A = this chain, B = another copy of it.
Amino acid sequence: MSDLDFLFRPKTIAVIGASKDPTKRGYQSIRSLQEGGFTGTIFPVNPREKEILGLPVHAKTSEIDSEIDLALISTPASTVPGILEDCGKKGVRSAVVLSVGFGESGTNGRKLQEEVVRIAKERQIRIVGPNTSGIFNLHHHMNLVGIRNVRRGSIAILSQSGNLALSLITEMSVRSHLGVSAYVGVGNEADIRFHEYLNYFRDDPDTRVIVVFADGMKDGRKFLQVAKQTVEEKPIVLLRSGRSELGRKAARSHTGALAGLSAVSRTAFRRAGIITIERSDELLPAAEALNCQPPIRHNRVAILSDGGGHAALAADALAEQFVNLPELSDETTQKLRAIMPETTTIANPIDVAGATDSNPGVFADCAQVLLEDPSIDALLIIGLFGGYHIRFDESLKQLEEETSHRIGKLSKSLNKAVVIQSLYADQQPSPLRIAGSYEIPVHESIDLAAKCISVLEEYGHHLSTSHDRTDFTLNPEGKRRPEAEGIINMVLSQRRTNLLETEAKSILRVHGVQVADFQTAADEEEAVEMARDIGYPVVMKIVSPEILHKTEIGGVLLNVKNEDAVRDGYDLLVARARRHNPSAKIHGVVLSPQMPSGIEVVVGVTQDPQFGPVMMFGLGGIMVEVLKDVSFRVIPLSSYPAEMMLREIKSRAILDGVRGKPGCDREALIQLMVQVSDLAEAYPEMAEMDLNPIICYENGLSVVDARMVLREPAEAK
């Protein structure tokens, strides 16, 4: 049994803080275990009671004469450390701490939480929460949350909000045939983290889809790693909150712990194959579609509708989700023409117009043609279907029911996704119930039906592309170079964290990055010699560990054209540096060739609080600084995600060359991005990198300036 098996499949549960008061969790949990048919043994613990709900009560957990797999703790926060010590003595394997007043509530709470974690580690007790709404595993008849009448099924819920889970469960009971396998309220993630639960659900045979609600998480990178493996077996749908500043503020006061999901999370989740949802009302439809329908591996969808207005709205909704409605093949067009009235225009969206009014069976005829077409991967049916007998004549009901059976069987036998939108969906007429029995999602909303298609497409796309096989693991081994390590160690030995431009460029060069030539002159004469060597015009920059922002103090001279100018320039730079900081240690002046103009881009590396090192890419100048037009990827990245980063910026057209200017050498740029990714991976001690600008040409590129910042030695890992 794994750690979490003791949690999800306990044989013995101690309920600490057991109570006779029906409004207390210490009463409700016992009742809910009993009502749910829990087959193990329940041990109420309370020093002041003898019997609760027919069970003998122990004064302390350590006094129980049995091994304890799981302790449920609902006593005040201040009592929790003592209780855990007592549990530890007993060898309790896991604990669900419902108590509040920990990390989410100020300094004292945080200290208390640290103590709890310390005890848990020492005593080897795995902890859910604190500040959790609880957990349940319906397939083990174990319910510690007290929500009643939850339908058993195959959706696992992993959530920071108990109410969100309650919403989903309530919505399921009203609107779908789905049920829940298990639920965890992750609470403050003090011990067990999101990714550990995810790992458990991946292996849980009762779970087909994992739903996650998060407004932050403690170890985002581990979550990505586990998610990436998990989605190969079952889909993950994540509802992301805290997208707006207001939402983040609200989320912070909720879980207390975390910074909220950063901007990079959306792209990171997508890369891990997680389906991210931003509207809570789309969560259940998305989970249902992924639970019931095959993924759409090629983005080729047909819409079959009985009205042009609805078809246009559905096409809009799909287009906004990047779902492709291909043109129909000649063969399929001919087959459809044979079914439909002569005057009908045959095109995708397929509008059967009036053809189905008196014979809804036409829907099945058309669906068959479309689903049998190997160049169509999925079908969205839009309009009145299922309610023709309501709209026109009761006599049509049987025909509609037969049609549903035919479409359902086609979907199953051809293993192609079908989603139905019907304006009669909420009335659940028999033809739509039949479609449901073939696991076809049925929605009243065009937008929700389209969303079902789009999540199936997104999941299928992830499964069928193999361009980006990262496992999100950072592996420095074999990537470090002794020369670069030497520079870093020297910098650290000088108690610096900011590398000189020359040091940063040397490290880049060691790793094969195309850096513009540079030489550091310690005096005027050397500068003149070097300039001659490099060739005029040159760029001159001051080199001093005390001067980080060279441009701001006038420490950069461009387009220096001759020997005299080099001499003057040297003196000027030194004078400016002295004026700025009389005690600055000046190493000299670095000289580089004045590079011809080209397309300026920026590549940077920063540390995300949840995901660790992240790469940023954008076009230099106003595009980054004013328009914030940048793309992000969690490091490491290979050439495919690097290419995607180039494609994601809004100003991407500029990379191809505009207004008569040449484009940029994409291959060289992608290679550089991969090199920088390797570099960030190789040196975890690096906190930030900024290659700005990089000048790109039709052939090749050149890093003109570079900045690197190391972590404070204390925080280096």
Closest Cβ of chain B to A91, distance in Å, is 33
Digitize A414-443: 1 where CB-to-B-CB distance is under 8 Å, 0 elsewhere. Answer: 000000000110110000000000000000
Closest 7 CB pairs of A and B: A254-B308, A161-B309, A244-B319, A247-B316, A163-B307, A281-B445, A251-B312
> Do residues A281 and B448 form an inter-chain contact, with CB atoms below 8 A?
yes
- In angstroms, Cα B248 to Cα A40, docked, is 61
> Do residues B249 and A315 form an inter-chain contact, with CB atoms below 8 A?
yes
In the complex, which residues 337-365 of chain A have their Cβ closer than 8 Å to any Cβ of chain B?
Answer: 343, 345, 347, 349, 351, 358
Do A246 and B391 form a contact, CB below 8 Å, given A171-B423, A254-B308? no
Digitize A3-43: 1 where CB-to-B-CB distance is under 8 Å, 0 elsewhere. Answer: 00000000000000000001100000000000000000000
- In angstroms, Cα B351 to Cα A351, docked, is 48
Do A626 and B250 form a contact, CB below 8 Å, given A175-B426, A391-B166, A447-B280? no
Q: A343 — which chain B residues lie within 8 A by C-beta?
A: 101, 105
Do A659 and B625 form a contact, CB below 8 Å, given A241-B316, A384-B163, A424-B170? yes
Digitize A435-462: 1 where CB-to-B-CB distance is under 8 Å, 0 elsewhere. Answer: 0000000001111100000000000000
> Do residues A622 and B251 form an inter-chain contact, with CB atoms below 8 A?
no
Pairs A–B under 8 Å by Cβ, sample size 5 = A242-B312, A247-B319, A250-B312, A279-B447, A625-B658
Residue on B nearest A254 in the bound complex, by CB: B308
> Do residues A316 and B622 form an inter-chain contact, with CB atoms below 8 A?
no
Residue on B nearest A242 in the bound complex, by CB: B312
Do A312 and B247 form a contact, CB below 8 Å, given A171-B444, A384-B166, A627-B650? yes
A174 within 8 A of B: yes
> Do residues A309 and B244 form an inter-chain contact, with CB atoms below 8 A?
no
> Do residues A308 and B250 form an inter-chain contact, with CB atoms below 8 A?
yes
> Do residues B213 and A309 form an inter-chain contact, with CB atoms below 8 A?
yes
A310 within 8 A of B: yes
Digitize A311-336: 1 where CB-to-B-CB distance is under 8 Å, 0 elsewhere. Answer: 11111111110000100000000000
- In angstroms, Cα B313 to Cα A244, docked, is 9
Q: A309 — which chain B residues lie within 8 A by C-beta?
A: 159-164, 213, 215, 241, 251, 254
- In angstroms, Cα B426 to Cα A716, docked, is 53
Q: A325 — which chain B residues lie within 8 A by C-beta?
A: 246
Do A246 and B307 form a contact, CB below 8 Å, given A279-B447, A622-B658, A622-B659? no
A475 within 8 A of B: no
A44 within 8 A of B: no
> Do residues A281 and B163 form an inter-chain contact, with CB atoms below 8 A?
no
Do A447 and B281 form a contact, CB below 8 Å, given A163-B423, A250-B315, A345-B253? yes
Residue on B nearest A325 in the bound complex, by CB: B246
> Do residues B351 and A254 form an inter-chain contact, with CB atoms below 8 A?
yes
Do A246 and B170 form a contact, CB below 8 Å, given A309-B163, A310-B161, A627-B650? no
This chain's copy number in the assembly? 2
Residue on B nearest A317 in the bound complex, by CB: B279
Q: A281 — which chain B residues lie within 8 A by C-beta?
A: 444-448
Q: A444 — which chain B residues lie within 8 A by C-beta?
A: 171, 281
A255 within 8 A of B: yes
Q: A239 — which chain B residues lie within 8 A by C-beta?
A: 313
A383 within 8 A of B: yes
Q: Which residue, A239, A251, A383, has most C-beta atoms of chain B within 10 A?
A: A251
Digitize A602-625: 1 where CB-to-B-CB distance is under 8 Å, 0 elsewhere. Answer: 000000000000000000011001
> Do residues A313 and B241 form an inter-chain contact, with CB atoms below 8 A?
yes
- In angstroms, Cα B78 to Cα A349, docked, is 29
Of B105, B248, B280, B315, the contact of A244 (CB 8 Å cutoff): B315
> Do residues B163 and A383 form an inter-chain contact, with CB atoms below 8 A?
yes
Residue on B nearest A358 in the bound complex, by CB: B23
- In angstroms, Cα B163 to Cα A383, docked, is 7
- In angstroms, Cα B280 to Cα A423, docked, is 11
A653 within 8 A of B: yes
- In angstroms, Cα B393 to Cα A627, docked, is 54
> Do residues A315 and B651 form an inter-chain contact, with CB atoms below 8 A?
no
A681 within 8 A of B: no
A243 within 8 A of B: yes
